[in-house]
Structure 1
Amino acid sequence: MGGHYSSGPDIKRNILQTPPNVICDTQKRMPSVYTSSFQKSYDTISDGTTSNDVNSDKNGNGSTKIQNGGSEPEITNGRVWTGTGSSENGKLLIALIAISQLFLFMSWSIIAPFLPPEASAKGASQTEIGFIFGIYSGVQFIVAPLWGKFIPVLGARFVFILGYIIAGATNVSFGFFDRIPSGNPFVATCLLARAFQGVGTSGVFTAAMTMVAYTFPNKIGRLVGLLEVFTGIGLMIGPFIGGVLYEYGGFSLPFVSLGCLMLLVSVILMFVLPKDSYTSTSKAGSFLPLLNIPGTWVGILSGFLAALTFLVLEPTLSLELEQFNLNSIQVGSVFLLLGLVYGFTSPFFGWLAEGRVSSRKLVIGGMLIAFVGYIILGPWPPLNLPNSLVLVCLGIVLISLAFGFSFAPCFQEILISARFNGMPSNVSTYGVLSGTFNSAFSLGSFVGPVVGGALVEAKGFSFLCSTIALINLLMLIISIAFSLWEFNFGRGRRKCIISRRFEYAEINEVDSEEVRLLSNATA
C-alpha cells in the first residue's frame, strides 16, 4: 500500500489498499534497516512518496507535472499549505507552539518545590501526595486518545486553544486551595484540579503534534525535537520560578501569576494562531487500523519505555544523592543534567530520524544507552563499581542522552510504519497517531514514578536501576528480533497487519480529504 499525491487548488490523498487476501507481503522496494541502502528508501517511506512525487501540479490538461526534491507545506495564495514550509505562517506556527509548551510545562513542574510540604501540612499522606503528582499523567493516558480521535471533527486549532484555557484556568484555581479545609477536602480538590490540568495539557500536546506532523511532513523529527527543547526548559525553570514566587508571595502567587499568563497567551492564540480551514468528511479518526499494524507497536512501546526510564528517577534520585551530603543547589544541578542533555540533543536526533539514520535504529540505540546508563547509575553489584558522585552523574548523562535518542524517533517510527502499511497522510491519521503517542508517553510518565518509589522503598535504589536496565535490555532484544523478521533479514520490509477485520479501508474519491490546513484566510 502506498499513497499517491496530486496537488493544486485542492490537494487530494488517494490511498491504495493491499489485496484483501494478503496479510503479510515482502516489499523489495523497502530494504532492511540493516542494509546500507536503507537511507534512500527510508526517505521514500517517511514521506509517503518517492522523492520525485512530493511536488506535483496539474497543468491545464489535467496531466501531472513532477518536480524533484521534497518539500514542506506553506501558504499558497494565502489559502493552502502546499510548498516549502518557509512561509511566515509556518514559522509563526512553530513559534507559537514552542512558547505555549514552555509555559505549559512550567505549570506542570512549578509545584515541585513547595506543594509537598504544603500538602503534608494539610494532612495529606506521602501516598496521597504521590497521587496528586501522578494523576496528571494518568489522566493524559486516558484522554489523549480521545483528543486525537476527535481532532478531525473539532479542529486542531480549537483543541489546542481549549486545552490551553483549561490548563491556565486550573492553575489560577490552584492558587486558592490553601484556603480549603485540611484532610480529604484538600486532597480531593487537588486531585480534581490536577486531573483537569492533565486534560488540558493532553489536548495542547496532541493538537500540537498533529499540526506539526501534518504541516511539516518532511521535518517532523527535527521539529518535534526542537519543541522538546522548550519542554525541557519549562521543566527545568518551573521549579526554580515556583520556589522564588512562593518565597516572596506565598502559596497563591506561583499559581495565579502563571495561570493568568497562560490565559493571556490563550487570548493571543485566538487572534494569531493560524486557522484550520480544511474540508473533510468530519469523521473522527479510528485507532484500530493504527494498532492493527505490528510495526507501530515498536514506536508505541518504545515511547512508553522512554518515559518510564526517564521519569522513574523523579521521586527516587534525590534520596540517593543524600549520601553525598549535597546542598539543595548541588542536588538541583544534578537534576539539571537530566533536562539539559536531552533538551539540547533532541533536535539533532530528530533531524537524524528524518531519513539520515533510520528511526528504528535510533530507538534501539536509545535502549542500549539506557541499559548502560542504569548499570552505571546503580551501580550494578556484579561490576563492583564504587558508588561515587562521578559515576552517578555519568549514568544520568547517559540516561538523558538515551531519552533524546528515543523521543522524536519514536513518533517518527510510528508514523513511518503507519504510512508504509497504507494509512493516509491526512489529519485523521495524524490525530490518532499523536493521541496514541501522547497516551503511551503519559502512561510511562505515570508508571515510572509510582514503580520507582515502590521499588526503592522495598528493595533499594540499586535494585531499581538493575530492574530498569533489564527491562531496556529485554525490549532491545525483542525490538531487534522483530525488526529482523519485519525486514525479512535484509531482503525487504513486510507489509503486515494483525487482522483483516481492522485493516484500513480504501478511501473513495468522494470521501477523500481536501486539505486546507492552518490557513489564515477564510475561504
Structure 2
Amino acid sequence: MKAELEFALLNAGNLFCCLGLSLIAPFYPAYAHKFDVSNSLLGLIFGLNPIGGMLASLIVGKLLNHKNQTTLLCLGLIIQAIGQFQFPLLYFVNQKEYFLTLSFIGRFLSGFGGCTFLTPFYASIPQKFPETTDQKMAIVEFFSSFGYLAGAVAGSILYEIGGFSFPFLIFASASIIIALLIKLSFSKSDKILPQKQIENKIGYLTILKDLSILTSFNVIFSMCIAYSYFQPIFAIFFQDYFDVSPIDSGYYMSVAPLAYCFGAFLISKIKLHKQITILIGISVVAISEFMMGPDPLFGIEPQLHLTTISYFIFGFFIAIPYVLTLPSITETLELRFEKKDHDKCISLASGLFNSILSIGEFLGPFLSGLIAEHLAFPRSCSILGLYLILTIILYIPSFIQFKAKVQRKKVLTLDEQL
C-alpha cells in the first residue's frame, strides 16, 4: 500500500514536469514575436528545455543509488521551479538580448530539473513493480500526456486570467509543494538500487552495444522529435491558415495529448506483443504526418477538421511506442545480462531513455523552426513522415533479432531443466 501511495505522489511530480514543458506553447510564441524573435530562435528556445534534460538524465543515471533517490527527486522539482520563475521576469525587460537570455536560462533549468526528477522515477518502476511494469508505465504515460494536455489548456486559461506571468508562478509553486511532500513522505530506507549494485562496472556503452536496444532507443528518439515538432509552429499555422488566435490554438494543441491519454489508458488494460505493436504504432503515426497539412501532392487544401482528426490519430497511436519502448528495452536487458546486474542496467537504461527523450524534444522544435523558414507547414510534416518510415525500416531487423534471442533463451532453459 505504501508503494502505491508513493507511486501516486511521484506521478503528481511527473504531471507537473509535463505541465511545465507544454505550458508556454499557446501564448509564448506570439509574445516572443513582439521582440522580433525569429522562428529558428523560437525553436531553439523551446529546444533548450530538453538539452538541460539530456544532461541531467546522463548524470543522474550514472549517479543514482539507494542513498540519493529522494534527494534527486526533490532537487529535480525545485530546479524546475527555479526555471519557471525566470519567465515572469520577462515582463520587466524591454531589450531582445535580455528577453532571449532569460528565456534560454528558464527553459534549460526547467528541462534539467524535470529530468533530474524523471530519471529516478522511471528507474523505480520495473524494480518496485516487476510484475506490473507495463501497466505502471501506461499509467505514467497517461499522467504525462495529461500534463501535456492540461499544460496547453491551463496555460491559455491562466494567461487570460492573470496575464503572461501568472501561469509560471502557479506551476512553479506547485512543483515546490510536491517536492516538500516527497521529502516528508519518503523514509530514508526507501531505495531503488541494492547496495551491492553500486560498484557495478556496467556503463552506457555496454548497453548500447546491443542492436535491438540501439534501434529501440532510436524509436523513442524519433517519436520525441515527432511529438515536440509542432510546439513552435502549430499556433502560427492555425493563425495563418485558419485564423485561429494564439489563445484558442491552445485548445487545438490539446487534441493530441487528449488522444494520447486514451491510447495510454487502453494499452494499460490489454496484453500486447510489444515489438509488433510498436511497429503498428509508428506506421500509423507516419501516415498521419502526411495528412496533417495535408501535403500539397494530395491536392487537398488545408482544412481545420482534417488537421484536427490527423492530429488526434497521431496522438493516439504515438502512445504505443512511448509506453512500450522502455519495457521492451528492459526485457532485452534481462535476456542479455545476469539477474544480479538487472537493477543497474535498468537505472542506466532509464538515464539513457530520458536523455534520448530530451534530445528528441530539443531537435523537434529546433528542426521545425528551422524548416519553417524555408517550407510551409504541410510539406514540413511530410518530411517528418518520411523520417518515421526510415525508423520503421531500421527497427524491423532488431525485432527479428529479439525474437531469435527469446527462442534461444527458451531452448537454454529447457536444456537446463533436462
TM range (shorter): 0.7 to 0.9
2:222 pairs, out of 285, 305, 318, with: 305
Q: Which amino acid aligns with 1:466?
A: S
Partner SS, residue 64 of structure 2: helix
The structure 2 residue matched to 1:273, chosen from 186, 197, 206, is 186
- Write the mapping of 1:14-33 to structure 2, written as runs, cut at 5 A: none
Change (3 A) 1:260 1:412: same
The alignment partner of 1:436 has SS state of helix
Of 109, 123, 138, 1:225 maps to 138
**What amino acid sits opposite 1:366 in the alignment?**
G
Does the 8 A contact of 1:337 with 1:396 survive in 2?
A: yes
Tell me: CA distance 1:393–1:218, structure 2 relative to 1, closer, same or farther (3 Å): same
In structure 1, the partner of 2:337 is: 422
Match of 2:285 among 356, 370, 376: 370
Residue aligning to 1:343: 261
One of 386, 391, 394 as aligned partner of 1:475: 391
Q: Which moved more, 1:202-211 or 1:164-173?
A: 164-173
Report if the CA contact (8 A) 2:138-2:323 is conserved.
yes
Q: Which residue of 2 aligns with 1:216?
A: 129
Q: Against the structure 1 CA distance between its residues 373 and 409, is the aligned structure 2 distance closer, same or farther, given a 3 Å change threshold?
A: same
2:370 to 454, 465, 472: 454
Q: Which residue of 1 aligns with 2:313?
A: 398
Match of 1:170 in 2: 83
Q: Distance in 2 between matches of 1:101 and 1:468?
A: 28
CA contact (8 A) 1:455 1:463 kept: no
2:15 pairs with 102, 108, 120, which one?
102
Cα separation, 2, equivalents of 1:327 and 1:114: 10
Q: Which amino acid aligns with 1:331?
A: S
Mapped partners of 1:303, 1:483: distance in 2? 15
Q: CA deviation at 1:311?
A: 1.9
8 Å CA contact retained: 2:29, 2:232: no
Q: Normalization by structure 2: what TM-score?
A: 0.87
Partner of 1:238: 151
Answer yes or no: is the 8 Å Cα contact 1:338–1:397 preserved in 2.
yes
- From the superposition, tell whether residues 487 and 102 of structure 1 become closer, same or farther in structure 2 (CA, over 3 Å): closer
Deviation per CA, 1:88-114: give whole Å up to 9, x if none: 112112210111122222222222344
**In structure 1, what is the equivalent of residue 70 of structure 2?**
157
Which stretches in structure 2 are left out of the alignment for 5+ residues? Answer: 411-418
Aligned to 2:355: 439
Question: Which stretch shifts more, 164-173 or 274-283?
Answer: 274-283
Q: Is the 8 A contact 2:145 2:258 kept in 1?
A: yes
Q: C-alpha separation between the residues in 1 aligned to 2:127 and 2:381?
A: 38
Q: Take 1:302 and 1:371, find their aligned partners in 2: how far apart are those partners?
A: 12
Q: 1:300 to 1:423 in 2, by over 3 A?
A: farther
Partner SS state of residue 176, structure 1? helix
Q: Relative to structure 1, is the Cα distance of residues 131 and 382 closer, same or farther in structure 2, using a 3 angstrom cutoff?
A: closer
CA contact (8 A) 1:144 1:203 kept: yes
Q: 1:287 corresponds to which letter in structure 2?
A: Y
Number of residues of Structure 1 aligned to a counterpart in Structure 2: 404
Distance 1:459 1:251 in 2: 30
1:412 aligns with 2:327: yes
Counterpart AA for 1:98: N
SS in 1 for 2:254: helix
CA shift, 1:404, in A, is 0.9
- C-alpha displacement at 1:258, in angstroms? 2.3
1:301-343 CA distance string (max 9 Å, x none): 0000111122212223334434234456763443221011112
Looking at structure 2, the residues matched to 192 and 330 of structure 1 have their Cα atoms a distance apart, in angstroms, of 28
Residue deviations 1:117-168 (CA, integer Å, cap 9, x gap)? 4444456444433322210012212321211111126532221111111112
**CA deviation vs aligned residue, 1:415-436 (integer Å, no higher than 9, x gap):** 1111111154644222111111
Q: Which moved more, 1:182-191 or 1:159-168?
A: 182-191
What does the per-residue CA deviation read over 1:477-508, in whole Å, with 9 as the maximum and x for residues that have no partner? 232234335535x993589xxxxxxxxxxxxx
Aligned to 2:414: none
Report SS of the residue matched to 1:379.
coil
Aligned twin of 1:69: none
Partner Cα distance (2:184, 2:177) in 1 = 11
Partner of 1:64: none
Q: 1:455 to 1:132 in 2, by over 3 A?
A: closer
* Structure 1 unaligned blocks of 5 or more: 1-87, 496-523
**For 1:100 and 1:294, how far apart are their aligned partners in 2?**
33
- Map Cα deviations across residues 21-66 of structure 1 (whole Å, 9 max, x no partner): xxxxxxxxxxxxxxxxxxxxxxxxxxxxxxxxxxxxxxxxxxxxxx
Choose which of 294, 313, 317 in structure 1 pairs with 2:211.
294
- The residue identity in structure 1 corresponding to 2:393 is I
More strand by share: 1
TM-score, length of structure 1 as denominator length = 0.71
Query: Greater CA deviation, 452-461 or 204-213?
Result: 452-461
Structure 2 CA distance for aligned equivalents of residues 179 and 324 of structure 1: 33
Counterparts of 1:169-208 in structure 2, within 5 Å, are 169-180=82-93, 182-208=95-121
Amino acid at match of 1:430: I
Report the Cα distance in structure 2 between the residues aligned to 1:395 and 1:203, rounded to whole angstroms: 34
Partners of 1:140 and 1:329 in 2: how far apart?
A: 27
Query: Relative to structure 1, is the Cα distance of residues 397 and 252 closer, same or farther in structure 2, using a 3 angstrom cutoff?
Result: closer
Greater helix share, structure number: 2
2:235 is equivalent to residue 318 of structure 1: yes
Q: Give the 3-state SS of the residue equivalent to 2:195 in structure 1.
A: coil
Task: Report the Cα offset of residue 364 of structure 1.
Answer: 0.9
1:253 is the counterpart of 2:166: yes
